[in-house]
Structures are given as C-alpha cells and as structure tokens.
Amino acid sequence: MAVLKTITSPVDLKRLPAELLETLAEEIRAFLVERVSRSGGHLGPNLGVVELTLAIHRVFDSPNDTVVFDTGHQSYVHKLLTGRQDFEGLRTRGGLSGYPSRDESEHDVVENSHASTSLSWAEGIARGYHLRGEDRHAVAVIGDGALTGGMAWEALNNIAANKNLPLVIVVNDNERSYSPTIGGLADHLAMLRTNRQYEQVLDWGKETLHRTPFVGRTAYQAFHSMKKGAKDFWAPQGMFEDLGIKYVGPVDGHDEASVEQALRRAKSFGGPVLVHVITQKGRGYDHACNDVADQFHTVGKINPETGLPLEIAGRSWTDEFSDEMLDLGRERNDIVAITAAMMMPVGLKPFADAYPERIIDVGIAEQHATTMAAGLAFSGMHPVLAIYATFLNRAFDQLLMDCAMHKAGVTFVLDRAGVTGPDGASHHGMWDMSLVSIVPGLRLAAPRDGQQIRRALREAVDVDDGPTVIRFPKGSVAEPLEAIATTDGLDVLAGDHESDPEVLIVSVGSMAGTATTVAEKLGAEGHDALVVDPRWVLPVPDGVVELARRAGRVAVIEDNNVAGGVGAEVSRALEDAGVAVPVHRFGLPKEFLGHASRGQVLEAAGLTPEPIVERLRTQM
C-alpha cells in the first residue's frame, strides 16, 4: 500500500504522477478486499468505481466542488482518497459509516442512502452556486439502477430547463442495482454500450472533410446532419440530448485516463452534462464478478481467499417468508409478487424461478410499485409487495391514497423492520408503524417468530378489503415461542391471564423475548405480570383494551419509533374506551440512530430487560 498511504487528500492525488495511478488502483482494490472481508460491507459496488472515483477527484476540487453519491454505498474509495483509511471499525459503533457522513468529513454532503435522490440534491447545490456567482461544480454519481427511480427523472426534467447549471451527472452503468437493472432505461443504456457503428461513420466523415481541399458551408452542414442521423440511428443518446442535457460517452470506466478526459470536457462545457461510464461491479476480485456479482453487493465477514462467509448464519426471517410465498404461489394463481430491485434480499428469487409470469421487478420505484399493486388488486389479483421497511417511507402517499382509500387488497411485507444495525440511520426500519398507524382500514401484523410469519402471511392474503402489512427484522430468526394460552384473541406468552395482572405487557413482534424476560424478572420480585402478543397489532385489538381494564398498568414494548407507534395507539385506544390506566411506552427514541450492532442500538435506547424492569419497578 505504498502509494495509497501517501494519499491523505485529493490534493495529494492531483500531484500523483499519472503513471502511478494504475498501481494506486490495484492497491485500493487489495485494501478493500482485505478490510471489508473483516468487517462486512458493500464490496462489489466499490470495487467497480475505483478508477471513476480517482478521475473525479483529479478533475474536480472537493470540497469546493461537491460530489454527491447515489447511493452512498459506493463511497468507500471516496473515503480513502479524502483521508479516511482506518477501516478497522467500518460500520461498527465509533468507526466509519458505510455511507457518506457529514460527521466524518467536509467532503461528505448527502448521508441518505435511499436511491435516486442525487440529481435533485446536485441540482439544488448547483443552482445555489450559480445564483451566488461562485465558480463551483456539483457532481452527481448515480448508478443505472438508481436512474430507474422516478425522482431521478423528475430531476432530469428540471435540470434540462437550466442551461447554465454547473452540474455534471456521472451515470455509473454496471447493468445492476442490487441485481441486474431492468426496464426500458436498461435496454436504452445497453444499446448505448453495444452499438458503436456510428463512430465508424463519424470517423469516415471527418477524414473526408480533412482531405477535401476546399470545404464549403454546405459540406459542413451535410456532415453535421450525417453526424446527428448516425447518432440517432445507432446510438440513441438523443434521449438525453433531446431533453437538453449534453451527453458524453460511453466511456470505459476502468480506463482512468479516458474517464478523466471525459470529465474535463464535461467540466468545461458550462452547463449540465451527462457522462456515461461503463464499469464492472466487483472489478478485480474474481469471486465478486460475473454471475455471482450480486452476492457480493453486501457481504458479511468473508474469507478473502475463497469469498466464502466466515459466519454461517442460521435460518433468517426472510427465509420463512420466502418459503411461505412459494407455498402460496403453488396454491393460489391470484398471488403476484412485486419487488423494487431487491429480488434476492427480500427472498422472492425462489418465487420468481417457480412462477416467472407472476413476479414483477419495477426497479427502484416504490411509488410506482404501490399504485400498480392497487391496480392489480382491482383486476382480481392479490399482490404481495416485499420491500425494506425503511423504503415504505417513500411510498406513503400511494399507500394512503391509492391502496387504503380504494380499499385495495394489497399485502406489504416489510423486511429489515426495526433496528438493522451497521447500515445506520437511513436503513433502520423504525418509522413504518408510526406511518401506517394513521392509515384508515389498514391492518398490521408483527410476527414474533418464523411460524408466525407464515401464519400472518396466509391471513393477510385472504384480506381483500384493504391493505395489510407484515413486518419483521433483519437476521436469524429465533426458535418459535409458543403461546401458553389464548385470551380475547391474543396469544399469552407469560403469566396468568385469568387473574388481574399488576402489569399487562403488550409484546410487539420480535420484542417477545425481551417482554417475557421482563415478566420473569418482575415475577421474581413478587410482581404479577401478564405478557400478551396481539400478533395483529394495528388497529389495537379489543382484547388489549379489555385486559387493560383489569390491569394496574400497561407496558408496550416495540422496536419502532416511540412517537406514534403501537404504544401511542394503545394509549389512544384506552382513552377512547374510558380505561384510565397508566401506559408505559418502550420504543426507539425520535432520533436518527447511528450505525452499531442491533444489540448495541437496543441497549442505548433502553430496550433491554434491565432498564425496562427498572422503569416499571419505580412506578409500582
């Protein structure tokens, strides 16, 4: 790492002789494989943008020029080139974030790792620079996958209307988001990649003009007409240029000199320019390339020599959903699965393989997916839309107005709900229950284990008069926690439901183990605690209200934002029913929580048994 160690800022990179850039690129790739294999993280995307990031920092002047990554998981090389080479604590508490972070560096601006936002950010920044008369550029690095999102095209529409914006858009085209990019845009970019015949026509035209002793205006006009026709026919980058955005490319993204040359042209143009760069995800690490590239999008701890995981996880929550979807697909022809560029992560790949005509990947377009699902429900199908919980935020309007208001039988399956850990604030799925709690007619289930996922999914797809939501966390699923009884439609997990409890504990989803431990500790101190799992937690079941009438107090334990979550809804339901008992709400604080392990985040939030018992004890 002799060359890499000399780079402490982009200034050092600019001073580096060009003949050492290839060596630096090799050192960066070796560094990434070595360090990310220890900590886990986004390996494949960063291996693919090494030369591209080098070129950006040699051409532009960060932080005077602003570089916005979309999404930020491709920013590891950027971190290395801006003085952050201590990757030992990557994505752990106190270590580097896996995304850009304003707390880490003045070179980082946009921390949100939700896709398709960079063009809007960059347009706003560039407009500000222009209005203030500052000689500064904004650079947006957006993947072809993120370019499938509608927000990106809203931004392009506006960018094209301002010819003076100091804005460079770099399309990092590796044919993938998490998995292969789909749709009309993907087809268009593929045509740009593979059709180079027009270059031969242009070369012939230039040579002819060069050899002609006298060239008149008509000849030049003919040549430029021929040039435009050739481009439109063989390489329809006109889609961008017709919008009013200058197009440069395609450029080999692993030829640093070519990328640098293209970026310098773009920078000097004086208006918005789109530079189309072709890269290979996982470049330089055989295990992360070609057919298995998507398996290395995000990795846990791996053996760098073999690419195999060092930690073999048990059965996951996602596995349980995946298997049940496969069974439902076999039993019911009306089940349709929808994903937003996350086929493998949300467990829909087996369903897609078995029922290819009933799987829809919309790209990074959660809003479109949600309204399309309402249309599918109207047509007589039952769509199951599986996305990460944090991405439901993006489709709230469509959930409210298109699904709920129209009483559409759509099932939303929210993977990675609650605390997700290393990915940090933008990926914690801690807002979903607060959001959907205000949606009329919506029902939400929070399964406590794998068996309950299967049970809830079957119940959800039988609902045809409104949207249903099923949420579960990331990681390995624990052994089933059997109910010891049922009462008023609720599963009893601990305590005597026939007596009047001193405290009624309402357990929400994966917090069941914590809830039962709290009851055990209170019981050891002589306090009578009853733990129930409503399973379908929103709207608040009548059974919870009836049990609360007999209790001294109620405690709700959930891994959702404590503001507006299940606890808040229980309080409201009891007030509406005239049940005057104290309600203690245990959830995540109304804050953006940083990256750390799930256990560390829960501990910091007071969502472990000891602090919960302490707080309840002081009230008894």
8-state DSSP, 161: T
Query: Would you say 402 and 408 are in contact if contact means Cβ atoms under 8 Å apart?
Result: yes
Residues 466 and 507 in one domain: no
CB-based contacts of 140, cutoff 8 Å, min separation 6: 68, 70, 118, 119, 121, 122, 167, 168, 169, 170
What is the Cα–Cα distance from 400 to 502, expressed in whole angstroms? 38
What is the number of structural domains in the chain?
3
- Buried b / exposed e along 34-64 (16+ C-beta atoms within 10 A): ebbbebbbbbbbbbbbbbbbbbbbbbbebbe
Task: Say what the pLDDT of residue 228 is.
Answer: 46
- The verdict on whether residue 144 carries a ligand-binding annotation is yes
CA distances from 10 to 5, 6, 50, 92, 106 (A): 13, 11, 14, 26, 12
Facing residues of 150 across strands?
none
Judged against a pLDDT cut of 60, whether residue 132 lies above it is answered with yes
Whether residue 394 lies in the annotated active site: yes
Please provide the size of the chain in residues: 620
Question: 0.85 cut: is pTM over it?
Answer: no
| Mean predicted confidence (pLDDT) in 401-413 | 96
Sign, CA dihedral 457-461-463-469, equals: positive
Residues 466 and 535 in one domain: no
Residues 379 and 291 in one domain: no
- The verdict on whether residue 527 carries a ligand-binding annotation is no
Task: Say what the pLDDT of residue 245 is.
Answer: 83
Share of the chain above pLDDT 70, in %: 84
Nearest to 428 by CA among 544, 608, 605, 594: 594
- The verdict on whether residue 188 carries a ligand-binding annotation is no
| Strand ordering across the sheet containing 490-494 | 485-487, 490-494, 529-533, 503-507, 554-561, 583-588
> At CA 43, angle to CA 42 and CA 46, rounded to 5?
90
CA distances from 179 to 50, 256, 285 (A): 20, 25, 18
Judged against a pLDDT cut of 60, whether residue 411 lies above it is answered with yes
Judged against a pLDDT cut of 90, whether residue 458 lies above it is answered with yes
CB-based contacts of 379, cutoff 8 Å, min separation 6: none
Judged against a pLDDT cut of 80, whether residue 216 lies above it is answered with no
Judged against a pLDDT cut of 70, whether residue 138 lies above it is answered with yes
List, for residues 29-61, the tens digit of each pLDDT value: 888 888 887 777 778 788 888 999 999 999 999
| Per-residue pLDDT band at 289 (split at 50, 70, 90) | low
| Per-residue pLDDT band at 233 (split at 50, 70, 90) | very low
Tell whether 176 is covered by a domain: yes
Exposed / middle / buried, residue 86 (Cβ in 10 Å: 0-12, 13-18, 19+): exposed
Domain end point (choices 249, 264, 296): 296
| Identity of residue 177 | S
- The verdict on whether residue 114 carries a ligand-binding annotation is yes
Tell whether 302 is covered by a domain: no
Residues 174 and 42 in one domain: yes
Which of 43-52, 311-320, 439-448 is predicted least confidently?
311-320
What is the Cα–Cα distance from 404 to 411, expressed in whole angstroms? 11
Whether residue 281 lies in the annotated active site: yes
Query: Would you say 552 and 502 are in contact if contact means Cβ atoms under 8 Å apart?
Result: yes
Token pair recorded at residue 449: 């284990």
Judged against a pLDDT cut of 50, whether residue 236 lies above it is answered with no
CA distances from 318 to 360, 448, 452 (A): 18, 13, 12
Nearest to 567 by CA among 595, 591, 598, 589: 589
Tell whether 432 is covered by a domain: yes
> At CA 476, angle to CA 474 and CA 480, rounded to 5?
115
What is the Cα–Cα distance from 9 to 78, expressed in whole angstroms? 10
What is the Cα–Cα distance from 517 to 508, expressed in whole angstroms? 14
| Identity of residue 173 | D
| Per-residue pLDDT band at 207 (split at 50, 70, 90) | low
Nearest to 125 by CA among 143, 110, 144, 113: 110
Judged against a pLDDT cut of 60, whether residue 607 lies above it is answered with yes
Task: Say what the pLDDT of residue 350 is.
Answer: 95
Sign, CA dihedral 459-464-470-476, equals: positive
Residues 321 and 455 in one domain: yes
| Mean predicted confidence (pLDDT) in 275-301 | 67
| CATH number for the domain that contains residue 516 | 3.40.50.920
What is the Cα–Cα distance from 605 to 586, expressed in whole angstroms? 9
Tell whether 228 is covered by a domain: no
Annotated active-site residue in 281, 416, 443, 471: 281
List, for residues 74-102, the tens digit of each pLDDT value: 888 999 999 888 888 888 888 888 888 88
Residues 436 and 385 in one domain: yes
CB-based contacts of 350, cutoff 8 Å, min separation 6: 322, 323, 325, 326
What is the Cα–Cα distance from 84 to 53, expressed in whole angstroms? 14
Residues 453 and 595 in one domain: no
Residues 271 and 328 in one domain: no
Residues 176 and 255 in one domain: yes
Task: Say what the pLDDT of residue 611 is.
Answer: 94
Nearest to 45 by CA among 85, 68, 78: 78
Exposed / middle / buried, residue 158 (Cβ in 10 Å: 0-12, 13-18, 19+): middle
* Chain mean pLDDT for the chain: 85
Nearest to 372 by CA among 448, 13, 292, 363: 363
Judged against a pLDDT cut of 60, whether residue 180 lies above it is answered with no
Task: Say what the pLDDT of residue 184 is.
Answer: 54
Annotated active-site residue in 394, 448, 454, 474: 394
- The verdict on whether residue 460 carries a ligand-binding annotation is no
Neighbours of 441 (CB within 10 A): 16
Query: Would you say 456 and 470 are in contact if contact means Cβ atoms under 8 Å apart?
Result: yes
Token pair recorded at residue 508: 């929400």
- The verdict on whether residue 73 carries a ligand-binding annotation is yes
Judged against a pLDDT cut of 60, whether residue 62 lies above it is answered with yes
| CATH number for the domain that contains residue 404 | 3.40.50.970
Scan for tokens 């690490």, then name that residue.
Answer: 285
Residues 349 and 416 in one domain: yes
CB-based contacts of 3, cutoff 8 Å, min separation 6: 16, 20, 23, 24, 27
Beta strand pairing status for 536-538 and 138-143? unpaired
- The verdict on whether residue 285 carries a ligand-binding annotation is yes
Nearest to 118 by CA among 66, 160, 64: 66
Token pair recorded at residue 197: 């015949």
If residue 583 lies in a helix (H) or strand (E), which one and from where to where?
strand 583-588
Judged against a pLDDT cut of 60, whether residue 222 lies above it is answered with no
The residue ranking higher by pLDDT, 107 or 195, is 107
Domain end point (choices 425, 445, 471): 471
List, for residues 364-388, the tens digit of each pLDDT value: 889 999 999 999 999 999 999 999 9
- The verdict on whether residue 366 carries a ligand-binding annotation is yes
The residue ranking higher by pLDDT, 178 or 314, is 314
Tell whether 41 is covered by a domain: yes
Range of the domain at 409: 317-471
Judged against a pLDDT cut of 50, whether residue 128 lies above it is answered with yes
Scan for tokens 């409210």, then name that residue.
Answer: 400
Exposed / middle / buried, residue 313 (Cβ in 10 Å: 0-12, 13-18, 19+): exposed
414 three-state secondary structure:
strand
Nearest to 16 by CA among 27, 581, 102, 191: 27
| Per-residue pLDDT band at 290 (split at 50, 70, 90) | low
Residues 464 and 491 in one domain: no
Annotated active-site residue in 27, 256, 366, 558: 366
| Mean predicted confidence (pLDDT) in 228-238 | 47
Judged against a pLDDT cut of 90, whether residue 231 lies above it is answered with no
- The verdict on whether residue 76 carries a ligand-binding annotation is no
| Per-residue pLDDT band at 261 (split at 50, 70, 90) | very high
| Identity of residue 551 | A
- Buried b / exposed e along 282-297 (16+ C-beta atoms within 10 A): bbbbebbbeeebbbbb
Task: Say what the pLDDT of residue 152 is.
Answer: 86
Whether residue 569 lies in the annotated active site: no
Judged against a pLDDT cut of 60, whether residue 192 lies above it is answered with no
Nearest to 76 by CA among 108, 42, 103, 104: 42
Residues 131 and 60 in one domain: yes
Domain end point (choices 428, 444, 471): 471
